């Protein structure tokens, strides 16, 4: 069941919030369209939730799903962090897909955040990475990810450069290339179900490995 966040966006929990939780944020498009639930994030959450019943996962549905309204998306993530805090969560991981990578980095300085996980993350050179100081930063990027005409994508070279910049700052950063991975992890079928793309199963173990460290 979804609920309203303070920003006007929507959130929905998988699992009962406890001491630790994961806030999950989506990518975006050039068009300024109404937010949707992310198929890629939802697929990753379903796998992770079955392996980590002690964690709750809070997915965010942006008000406007667009990098042209990036600051609104940052506010929506901040509102989700606030909702987790109000639910009693004291330590957070941020799980971010595509544009959500930059959204998560902008929110990483929140006191509760200890871990940021980027899946095919958009991390442009102009993005300040100082909020990651003192946090664990983990990236998984598909080897075949790339923007196509009319289809968002992020070249792996962008996250490689961001990981190098983060390490230069002293951030605990790691990055793994996912063989055969394209930009999306999963797509939504017309009936509402999820269609996992061929390399989807290679992302889940990486996310699980980072969450294992988060839970220690």
pTM, to two decimals = 0.97
d(CA 185, CA 174): 20
Residues above pLDDT 90, as percent of the chain: 94
d(CA 97, CA 193): 19
Tokens 């962090």 belong to 81
Confidence of residue 1 (pLDDT cuts 50, 70, 90): confident
pLDDT exceeds cutoff 90 at 80? yes
Rg of the chain (C-alpha set): 15
> % helix / strand / coil in the chain, to the nearest 5?
35, 30, 35
Beta-bridge partner residues of 95: 24, 117
* Host domain of residue 203: 2-215
Q: The domain that contains 81 carries what CATH number? A: 3.40.50.1820
d(CA 194, CA 209): 23
E runs forming strands in the chain: 2-4, 10-14, 20-25, 33-34, 56-61, 64-65, 91-97, 113-119, 136-142, 172-178, 186-188, 194-196
Residues above pLDDT 70, as percent of the chain: 100
The pLDDT tens digits of the residues spanning 156-174 come to 999 999 999 999 999 999 9
d(CA 197, CA 83): 32
The domain tally of the chain equals 1
| Token pair listed for 17 | 């919030």
* Burial class of residue 53 in the structure, from the number of CB atoms within 10 Å of its CB (0-12 exposed, 13-18 middle, 19+ buried): exposed
Confidence of residue 150 (pLDDT cuts 50, 70, 90): confident
d(CA 162, CA 174): 11
pLDDT exceeds cutoff 90 at 184? yes
Please work out, in degrees rounded to the nearest 5, the angle formed at the alpha carbon of residue 40 by the alpha carbons of 133 and 65. Answer: 75
Q: What is the reported pLDDT for 149? A: 84
């Amino acid at each position: 069941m979804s609920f309203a966040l303070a920003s006007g966006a929507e959130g929905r929990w998988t699992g009962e919030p406890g001491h630790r939780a994961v806030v999950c944020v989506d990518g975006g498009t050039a068009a300024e369209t109404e937010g949707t639930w992310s198929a890629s994030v939802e697929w990753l959450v379903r796998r992770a939730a079955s392996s980590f019943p002690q964690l709750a996962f809070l997915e965010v549905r942006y008000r406007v799903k667009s990098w042209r309204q990036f600051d609104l998306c940052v506010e929506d993530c901040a509102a989700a962090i606030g909702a987790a805090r109000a639910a009693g969560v004291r330590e957070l991981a941020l799980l971010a897909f595509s544009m959500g990578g930059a959204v998560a980095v902008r929110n990483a300085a929140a006191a509760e955040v200890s871990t940021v996980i980027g899946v095919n993350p958009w991390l442009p050179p102009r993005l300040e990475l100082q909020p990651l100081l003192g946090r664990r930063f983990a990236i998984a990027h598909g080897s075949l990810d790339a923007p196509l005409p009319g289809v968002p994508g992020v070249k792996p070279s962008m996250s490689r450069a961001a990981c190098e910049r983060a390490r230069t700052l002293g951030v605990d950063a790691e990055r793994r290339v996912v063989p055969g991975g394209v930009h999306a992890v999963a797509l939504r079928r017309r009936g509402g179900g999820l269609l996992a793309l061929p390399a989807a199963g290679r992302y889940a173990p990486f996310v699980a490995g980072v969450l294992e460290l988060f839970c220690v």
